[in-house]
């Protein structure tokens, strides 16, 4: 390719003409020592906590510890070329990241630098990374649903816009898949999605980008990435940076969904920094303010009042447990901060129940208010029924003779479990979910063999979409199951069953 | 003259503290005798001259194996004729308390203490070529006008600045060097160019010569 040298020269000339040479006044310090992403700096006597500083190699740092004789700085970038004796410059501002529409569809590092090779983010809007969350009077209760497109979650632990719902479980139990499904399901809703990858393998992040692109979800998604090889300070600020980008949409009346994958690694990064900074260790060697580290982050997810535009940030923090130990320090902290949790269990996962959600201990404290009426009618009591079924199932394994009532309860339970299974990256619309669950909870599946349940569901939904499109539209509009619609649905199911052959 | 160390990167808060305490005592005693500046000058000679040139003397001062009487004999023999009695006594007191290893810290602290007492500030000036008297006076008068204080200059020559000068007062740096401006200009041109390149890529490629 040929480049026009005249054009290049004219651009450079314009830049040089606009350049005004002023005396550069700056406050400086001297690097005393540098190691593992932190530096100790002498001088910088007027620096504020959390203020940005710049190293000669261009790396940005944050004043983290202000001590009597020195300043502890965390380095957000390459610390390998910083040397003892280097001059550190205070920038006089707090850390901020680019925000606005320009960040959508991009893969960025926590400072807003591109990682996707599409050039720098062209945005005039920036937002501070650390802000104090909105207060009581600026919020209103969660009222709109945030559909994940996953039957088990939308029915039993519904999530509302502005809610914080924790996804917790051991490794390899499908935590990330749930979050990715939720992002894919936001297609066409105008919700902007932010996937914040903390301390993950870069290959895993690349495959997530690939999945999102294939499902057309990258158009409304931003990925903020501090991979496993990124220094601990970058992993630590990544969630705050991603939230700052999402806040731009919330404060402009829009809606955003933020996935923090995962906060256990962020806590580990914070622990590393704190220990290197010689802050005293507490339980599990985490510093004393690790709770605040998560609470101030998750508090920034909010549903704003109408006066402020009614925007929202919904967050799905992810926590990885070890051997199902939810009473460890970080899991209990985050459980107590969030508005509910989705608990994923390995034994369910390996039994083929995917998503492997344990209905008994998964809860959603505020999302019920945001469920559609139709969903409330079909799914009310589903969670408790399933929990009762699990108990009964354990009892039935003892081989006792069961009376018919118990047996039918068990049969219904097996079919509901089967119905709640859902393949990855295949989110469903609310209407489809309501139709499936209606058939299951009202007993229309009791005579379908357990193994054929998912096939039956698939065929039924296909059939009803082609034969009763008017009914589907009505359900989409009303979002309620009134008597009229209920009769029509029952009639449709009966009609389908009369002409359906299993096998 | 010995080139001053460009940066001190060994921070010893303990030594700093000891230095400050002894420096206050020394300046107090010297000021009462009316010889503060003389004594500080001699302290400079001791640290920059004798201690810097003789490792053995520095080791002897710092070593706890040499007892107090021996140390005070050394002080009398070496400096008895040259230094003011206040400084001699001060060194002996330090020797008695096993603090002679901190003489350099005392020097650093007493300099800044003296500057503070006199309302004087130290300005480190880095230039590409050595300052002549005319420009030195200019710099001093401009700085003392802006800062409202008496200014003491510490000069360094650094050819990598290309031109202009860098003045450092405390933690604040006033940088008008050519090197810094070229650096800023190049960064700005690079940013501006990449912005334009993304905005209208076609006009750069294609129809050019």
Lowest model confidence (mean pLDDT) among A170-179, B9-18, B20-29: B9-18
Supply angle C-alpha A151, A153, A157, rounded to 5. 140
| Distance in angstroms (rounded) separating the CA atoms of residues A323 and B81 | 79
Report whether pLDDT(B1) > 80: no
Report whether pLDDT(A174) > 60: yes
Burial A422-459 (b: 16+ CB within 10 A, else e): beebebbebbbbbbbbbbbbeebbeebeeeebeebbee
* Percentage of chain A modeled with pLDDT above 70: 99
Q: Do B175 and A24 touch (CB under 8 A)?
A: yes
pLDDT at B206: 58
Query: Nearest CB to B189: which of A16, A68, A84?
Result: A16
Confidence band of A29 (pLDDT split at 50, 70, 90): very high
Residues of chain A contacting residue B173, judged by C-beta atoms under 8 Å apart: 24-28, 87, 89
Query: Would you put residue B20 in left (φ > 0), alpha (ψ -120 to 50) or beta?
Result: alpha
pLDDT at B2: 42
Report whether pLDDT(B209) > 60: no
| Distance in angstroms (rounded) separating the CA atoms of residues A72 and A55 | 13
Supply angle C-alpha A206, A208, A214, rounded to 5. 105
Taking the CA atoms of residue A42, residue A45, residue A51 and residue A56 in that order, the dihedral angle to the nearest 10 degrees is -40
Confidence band of A200 (pLDDT split at 50, 70, 90): very high
pLDDT at A206: 96
CA B38, chain centre distance (Å):
19
- ipTM for the predicted complex comes to 0.73
- Helix ranges restricted to H, A280-396: 290-298, 329-337, 346-350, 373-379, 382-396
Q: Are B179 and B146 in contact (CB under 8 A)?
A: no
Q: Do A15 and B9 touch (CB under 8 A)?
A: no
Q: In sequence order, what are the beta bridge partners of A63? A: A73
Interface A–B counts its CB contacts (< 8 A) at 103
Model confidence pLDDT, tens digit, residues A220-257: 999 999 999 999 999 999 999 999 999 999 999 999 99
CB pairs under 8 A, 24+ apart, for A490-496?
Answer: A490/A442, A492/A464, A492/A467, A492/A468, A493/A438, A493/A439, A493/A444, A493/A460, A496/A460, A496/A463, A496/A464
| Average of per-residue pLDDT values in chain A | 93
Q: Give the torsion sign (CA, A412, A417, A418, A421).
A: positive
Report whether pLDDT(B29) > 50: yes
Q: Tell me whether residue A28 is exposed, middle or buried, using C-beta atoms within 10 angstroms of its C-beta: 0 to 12, 13 to 18, 19 or more.
A: buried
Report whether pLDDT(B207) > 80: no
Task: Give mean pLDDT, residues A198-216.
Answer: 96
Q: Tell me whether residue A1 is exposed, middle or buried, using C-beta atoms within 10 angstroms of its C-beta: 0 to 12, 13 to 18, 19 or more.
A: exposed
pLDDT at B6: 44
| Bigger pLDDT: A396 vs A289 | A289
pLDDT at B154: 87
Task: Give mean pLDDT, residues B17-40.
Answer: 90
The strand pair at A96-98 and A87-94 is best described as unpaired
Global model pTM greater than 0.90: no
Using alpha carbons, list the distances in angstroms from residue A264 to A204, A330, A475, B70.
Answer: 17, 7, 41, 62
Residue B197 C-alpha, separation from nearest chain A C-alpha, in angstroms: 9
pLDDT at A12: 82
Q: Do A16 and B9 touch (CB under 8 A)?
A: no
Confidence band of B7 (pLDDT split at 50, 70, 90): very low
Q: Are A233 and A76 in contact (CB under 8 A)?
A: yes
| Distance in angstroms (rounded) separating the CA atoms of residues A381 and A84 | 65
Using alpha carbons, list the distances in angstroms from residue A349 to A83, A165, A344, A359, A362.
Answer: 50, 20, 8, 13, 15
3-class secondary-structure state, position B207: coil
Crossing angle for the helix pair A483-498 and A430-441, to the nearest 10 degrees: 70
Report whether pLDDT(A37) > 50: yes
Confidence band of A503 (pLDDT split at 50, 70, 90): low
Q: Give the DSSP per-residue string, A14-47.
A: HHHHH-----EEEEEEEEEEEETTEEEEEE-TTP
Report whether pLDDT(B3) > 70: no
Residues of chain B contacting residue A42, judged by C-beta atoms under 8 Å apart: 8-9, 11
Closest CA to A435 of A449, A456, A450, A409: A456
| Distance in angstroms (rounded) separating the CA atoms of residues A255 and A356 | 28
Task: Give mean pLDDT, residues A191-212.
Answer: 96
Residue B89 C-alpha, separation from nearest chain A C-alpha, in angstroms: 31
Q: A26 an active-site residue?
A: no
pLDDT at A4: 77
Q: Are A338 and A331 in contact (CB under 8 A)?
A: no
CA A327, chain centre distance (Å):
22
Model confidence pLDDT, tens digit, residues A362-398: 999 987 888 999 999 999 889 888 988 988 888 888 7
The strand pair at A60-66 and A87-94 is best described as unpaired
Six token digits for residue B42: 């001699």
- Tell whether omega for the bond before A262 is within 30 degrees of 0, i.e. cis: yes
| Distance in angstroms (rounded) separating the CA atoms of residues A258 and A269 | 20
pLDDT at B208: 43
Supply angle C-alpha A381, A383, A389, rounded to 5. 100
Query: Nearest CB to A30: which of B9, B184, B207?
Result: B9
**Chain A residues with CB-CB distance to B under 8 A?**
1-8, 11-12, 14-16, 19, 21, 23-33, 40, 42-46, 68-70, 84-85, 87, 89, 119-120, 122
Model confidence pLDDT, tens digit, residues A312-358: 999 999 999 999 999 999 999 999 999 999 999 999 999 999 999 99
Confidence band of B4 (pLDDT split at 50, 70, 90): very low
Q: Do A4 and B172 touch (CB under 8 A)?
A: no
Residue with tokens 């990544």: A238
Six token digits for residue A102: 């320009």
Query: Nearest CB to B171: which of A21, A27, A31?
Result: A27
Among candidate residues A365, A390, A442, A479, the one labeled active-site is A365
What is the 3 state secondary structure string of B131-192? CCHHHHHHHHHHHHHHHCCEEEEEEEECHHHCCCEEEEECCEEEECCHHHHHHHHHHHHHHH
Interface with A, mutate which of B7, B169, B199 (most A CBs under 10 A)? B7
CA A25, chain centre distance (Å):
42
């Amino acid at each position: 390719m040929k480049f026009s040298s005249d054009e290049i020269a004219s651009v450079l000339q314009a830049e040089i003409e606009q350049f005004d040479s002023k005396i550069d006044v700056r406050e400086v310090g001297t690097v005393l020592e540098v190691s593992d992403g932190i530096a100790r700096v002498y001088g910088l006597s007027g620096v504020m906590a959390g203020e940005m500083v710049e190293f000669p190699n261009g790396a940005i740092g944050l004043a983290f510890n202000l001590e009597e004789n020195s300043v502890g700085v965390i380095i957000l970038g390459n610390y390998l070329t910083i040397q003892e004796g280097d001059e550190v410059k205070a920038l006089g501002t707090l850390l901020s990241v680019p925000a606005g529409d320009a960040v959508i569809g991009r893969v960025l590092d926590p400072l807003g630098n591109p990682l996707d090779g599409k050039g720098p983010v062209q945005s005039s809007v920036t937002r501070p990374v650390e802000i104090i969350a909105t207060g009581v009077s600026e919020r209103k209760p969660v009222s709109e649903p945030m559909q994940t497109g996953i039957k088990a979650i939308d029915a039993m632990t519904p999530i509302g816009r502005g809610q914080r719902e924790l996804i917790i479980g051991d490794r390899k139990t499908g935590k990330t898949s749930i979050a990715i499904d939720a992002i894919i399901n936001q297609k066409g809703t105008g919700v902007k999605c932010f996937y914040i990858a903390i301390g993950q393998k870069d290959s895993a992040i690349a495959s997530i980008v690939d999945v999102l692109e294939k499902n057309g979800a990258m158009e409304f998604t931003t990925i903020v990435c501090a991979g496993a090889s990124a220094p601990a300070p970058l992993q630590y600020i990544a969630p705050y940076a991603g939230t700052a980008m999402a806040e731009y949409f919330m404060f402009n009346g829009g809606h955003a969904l933020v996935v923090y994958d995962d906060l256990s690694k962020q806590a580990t990064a914070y622990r590393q920094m704190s220990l290197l900074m010689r802050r005293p260790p507490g339980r599990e060697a985490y510093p004393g303010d690790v709770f605040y580290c998560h609470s101030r982050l998750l508090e920034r997810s909010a549903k704003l009042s109408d006066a402020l535009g009614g925007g929202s940030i919904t967050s799905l923090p992810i926590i990885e447990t070890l051997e199902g130990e939810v009473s460890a320090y970080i899991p209990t902290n985050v459980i107590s901060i969030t508005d509910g949790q989705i608990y994923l269990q390995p034994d369910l996962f390996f039994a083929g129940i995917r998503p492997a959600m344990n209905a008994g201990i998964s809860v959603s404290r505020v999302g019920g208010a945001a469920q559609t009426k139709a969903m409330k009618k079909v799914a009310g009591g589903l969670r408790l029924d399933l929990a009762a079924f699990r108990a009964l199932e354990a009892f039935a394994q003892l081989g006792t003779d069961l009376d018919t009532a118990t047996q039918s309860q068990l049969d219904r339970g097996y079919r509901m479990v089967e119905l709640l299974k859902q393949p990855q990256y295949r989110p469903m619309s609310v209407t489809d979910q309501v139709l499936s669950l209606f058939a299951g909870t009202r007993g229309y599946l009791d005579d379908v063999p357990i193994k054929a349940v998912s096939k039956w569901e698939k065929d039924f939904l296909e059939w009803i979409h082609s034969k009763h499109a008017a009914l589907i539209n009505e359900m989409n509009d009303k979002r309620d199951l009134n008597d009229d619609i209920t009769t029509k649905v029952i009639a449709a199911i009966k009609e389908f069953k009369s002409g359906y052959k299993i096998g | 003259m010995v080139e001053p160390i460009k940066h001190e990167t060994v921070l010893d808060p303990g030594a700093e503290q000891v230095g400050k305490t002894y420096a206050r005592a020394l300046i107090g005693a010297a000021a009462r005798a009316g010889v503060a500046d003389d004594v500080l000058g001699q302290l400079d000679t001791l640290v920059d001259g004798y201690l810097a040139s003789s490792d053995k003397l520095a080791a002897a001062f710092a070593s706890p194996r040499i007892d107090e009487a021996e140390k005070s004999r050394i002080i009398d023999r070496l400096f008895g004729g040259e230094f003011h009695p206040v400084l001699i006594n001060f060194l002996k007191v330090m020797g008695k308390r096993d603090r002679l290893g901190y003489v350099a810290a005392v020097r650093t602290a007493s300099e800044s203490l003296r500057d503070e007492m006199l309302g004087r500030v130290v300005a480190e000036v880095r230039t590409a070529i050595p300052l002549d008297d005319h420009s030195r006076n200019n710099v001093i008068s401009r700085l003392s006008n802006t800062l409202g204080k008496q200014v003491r200059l510490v000069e360094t020559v650094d050819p990598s600045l290309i031109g202009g000068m860098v003045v450092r007062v405390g933690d604040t740096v006033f940088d008008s060097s050519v090197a810094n401006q070229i650096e800023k200009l190049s960064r700005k041109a690079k940013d501006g160019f990449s912005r334009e390149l993304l905005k209208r890529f076609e006009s750069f490629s294609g129809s050019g010569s």
